[in-house]
Structure 1
Amino acid sequence: MAGDNPDSNLIYLHGDLDLKIIEARCLPNMDLVSERLRRCLAPFDLCRKPCTSSTRGNHHHHRKIITSDPYVTVCLAGARVARTRIISNSQNPVWEEHFKIPLAHPVSQVEFEVKDNDVFGADLIGIAILPAKRIASGELIDEWFPVIGSNGKPPKPDTAIRLQMTFIPCQQNPFT
């Protein structure tokens, strides 16, 4: 379709993006596959801690709930411009991370990739997309954005990421 051409929405974002990645909610449990693999290997003792004098005789096994280890990357026109820390075992992570990102990119949208850190590499949970036109307006944006999986739907109902940002064009920056 002609209206779907991303180049028709290109905007040159030249300035500073004041971004806060606050939190996410209702993330799916992406570590189920890793946990199942660990259980399959358990009879072969490949994933068990070595027995030490302090653990000998202690046969109480507490099941630890394994969930996702999420983090967020911020991408513009294929360039990763920011990344949060990993929050271990959380389906509702709180990052509260602040970034000041200098931009000089022709983009149609900004992508916030929510990923799960895993032993076998990162798995994409989903992406929240914000149109560049909205960012360029300079308005304060503080809201929840839906996270959409690779199938075009949210991985779970109400999966979302909370972001806060303001774009300051270089013409308005007193230090340029």
Structure 2
Amino acid sequence: MAQILLHGNLHVTIFEASSLSHPGRASGGAPKFIRKFVEGIEETVGVGKGSSKLYATIDLEKARVGRTRMLGNEPVNPRWYESFHIYCAHLAADVIFTMKADNAIGATLIGRAYLPVAELLEGEEIDRWLEICDDKREPVGESKIHVKLQYFGVDKDRNWARGVRSVKFPGVPYTFFSQRQGCNVGRISLMP
């Protein structure tokens, strides 16, 4: 699929995932009571990973633009209910939601869900369950992720590129710019 320029604001909410299976675990596809039993034994004996901490990321092709917090109490049906306001100027064919299980070193890929960028261009809100797929884009069991997205292109924003027109302007909303090493710019207040 051809890449499309997303230049504007992308509002994304990751609600939850369901029926996740962990391909790297012996208890991955087992029913919940068996999985809890096996994970408890693994943790007690010290041979297993214990309960996984899951998180999801948002990518525009290879650019990571968002990440949820890690959840450890729901390894099969995690619920984040996290929203992101993403300023973007990216070429992408898909918005990619990646599910991972955190490890002591690195992370284990559970799968990825894809939403074509072309579906966002009209600016309509998309609220959908997406199938989680493996590297070959084949569904991973019945795993799904519930997301909501809406794209606001710069061509629809009448204030885009007009600069600061008021002394009461509080700054760019929903952003944080960390100070870089060697930078002499400090935090200032416009309010007296």
Shorter chain as denominator, the TM-score bin is 0.7 to 0.9
CA contact (8 A) 1:70 1:114 kept: yes
Q: Find the aligned partners of 1:114 and 1:68 in 2 and give their Cα distance.
A: 12
How many Å apart are 1:96 and its aligned residue?
0.3
Question: Aligned partner of 1:19: which letter?
Answer: V
Determine the structure 1 residue equivalent to 2:59: 75
Determine the structure 2 residue equivalent to 1:12: 5
Greater relative contact order, per chain length (Cα 8 Å cut-off, separation 6+) = 1
- Where does the alignment leave 5 or more consecutive residues of structure 1 unmatched? 1-5, 49-64
Q: Find the aligned partners of 2:43 and 2:7 in 1 and give their Cα distance.
A: 52
Give yes or no for the alignment of 1:27 onto 2:20: yes
Higher helix share: 1
Q: Find the aligned partners of 1:39 and 1:100 in 2 and give their Cα distance.
A: 40
Give yes or no for the alignment of 1:139 onto 2:132: no
Question: Aligned partner of 1:113: which letter?
Answer: T
How many Å apart are 1:102 and its aligned residue?
0.5
CA contact (8 A) 1:74 1:83 kept: yes
1:52-104 CA-to-partner distances (Å, cap 9, x unmatched) read xxxxxxxxxxxxx9443211111113110000001104210000001000010
- CA 1:94–1:120: 2 relative to 1, 3 Å: same
How many Å apart are 1:32 and its aligned residue?
2.8
RMSD: 2.8
- Where does the alignment leave 5 or more consecutive residues of structure 2 unmatched? 28-37, 161-192
Identity of aligned residues (%): 32
Determine the structure 1 residue equivalent to 2:93: 108
Give yes or no for the alignment of 1:86 onto 2:70: yes
- CA 1:124–1:166: 2 relative to 1, 3 Å: same
CA contact (8 A) 1:31 1:66 kept: no
- CA 1:14–1:154: 2 relative to 1, 3 Å: same
1:22-52 CA-to-partner distances (Å, cap 9, x unmatched) read 100001145636978x84994xxxx59xxxx
How many Å apart are 1:107 and its aligned residue?
1.1
User: Map of 1:44-59 to 2, 5 A cutoff?
Assistant: 47=46
TM-score when normalising by structure 2: 0.67
Aligned residue pairs, count: 147
Q: Find the aligned partners of 2:84 and 2:25 in 1 and give their Cα distance.
A: 32
Determine the structure 2 residue equivalent to 1:61: none
Q: Find the aligned partners of 2:137 and 2:83 in 1 and give their Cα distance.
A: 29
How many Å apart are 1:168 and its aligned residue?
0.4
Q: Find the aligned partners of 2:128 and 2:43 in 1 and give their Cα distance.
A: 42
